[in-house]
Amino acid sequence: MILINKKMKKIIGLSFVAILLILQACGTTKNMQEFYTKYDKQATVIPLPSFALKLAGKAGGTDLFNYIKSAKVFVISDAGQGKQNRVIKDLQSSFRGENFENLIKLKSKNNNLNVALKEQNGRVNKMIFGINGLSNVLVIDSKLDITRAELDKALENINTDDIENLAEILK
């Protein structure tokens, strides 16, 4: 029988706490600021002015872009499938941490589309798209002002073909 003295118990206890702290530091992000900070050095951020968004809406034939006030695109390039999955997992964790509502999750082959939104006083004021496919991850963080009913109508036609088209853009 092995006897463990008080000193050994203390060392084992402190080691256990240290391991938990290390695992927590490597864990998922808790909010969008942590997400952006974690991947800042690996990403390119492109702010999109409202006039560019309106042009994109006209070219794409969707009214959704008319409601977006501003957006920034956060691109992580040359990411393998494992890293892409990690980034999307962190993004979803950040959604939960800031009480975003997961609105849409679509998957087509190796491509995923996640859309989450935040409402205040019956109006949607923030929407984030997370798209991964091929070797990139694209996060579109947008500010908007639209009722939930108008947004639901604008998003009702999103399908797996849209994911394929977004994946082509990511190439």
Tokens of 158: 């999103």
Helix, strand, coil percentages for the chain (3-state, nearest 5): 50, 35, 20
Range scoring the smallest mean pLDDT among 10-14, 114-118, 133-137: 10-14
Say if 130 falls within a structural domain. yes
Half-sphere exposure (Cβ direction) of 111: Cα atoms closer than 13 Å: 21
Residue identified by tokens 């082959």 is 109
- Domain of residue 130: give its range: 29-170
Q: What's the total number of domains in the chain?
A: 1
Identify the CA nearest to 35 among candidates 141, 169, 167: 141
Cut 0.85: pTM above it: no
Say if 15 falls within a structural domain. no
Say if 14 falls within a structural domain. no
pLDDT digits (tens, 9 = 90+) for 58-95: 766 666 777 788 888 888 888 888 888 888 889 988 98
